[in-house]
Structure 1
Amino acid sequence: MPSIALDKQTERQLDKVRAAVRRRTGQPISRTELLERLVEDAYSSRGEVVDMFRTSQAYVADEDSGTVHRPERKLVPGGAKQPDE
Structure 2
Amino acid sequence: MATAVKVDEAAKDRLEELQAEIRLQTGESVTQQELLSRLIENAYGSREEVIESFRGSTVPLSDADKERMREGRFSSGVETDEDDIDDALYG
Identical pairs, percent: 38
- Counterpart of 2:50? 49
Instruction: Note the C-alpha offset of 1:49.
Output: 2.2
Alpha-carbon spacing, 1:45–1:24, altered in 2? closer, same or farther (3 Å) = farther
Aligned-pair Cα RMSD in Å: 1.8
- Counterpart of 1:26? 27
- Counterpart of 1:4? 5
- Counterpart of 2:89? none
Please identify runs of 4+ aligned residues in structure 1 that moved more than 3 A.
42-45
Instruction: Note the C-alpha offset of 1:43.
Output: 5.9
Give me the TM-score of the superposition, normalised by structure 2: 0.52
User: Highest relative contact order (Cα 8 Å, sep 6+), 1 or 2?
Assistant: 1
- Of stretches 16-25 and 37-46 in structure 1, the one that deviates more from structure 2 is 37-46
Count of aligned pairs between the two proteins: 56
| 1:39 partner amino acid | I
Q: Structure 1, residues 14-56: CA drift from partner, whole Å, max 9, x if none?
A: 0011011111111111101001111111364333322221254
> Equivalents in 2 of 1:12, 1:32: separation in Å?
14
Question: What's the secondary structure of 1:14's corresponding residue?
Answer: helix
Larger Rg: 2
Question: What's the secondary structure of 1:19's corresponding residue?
Answer: helix
Unaligned 5+ residue runs, structure 2?
58-91
| Larger strand share, 1 or 2 | 1
| Larger helix share, 1 or 2 | 2
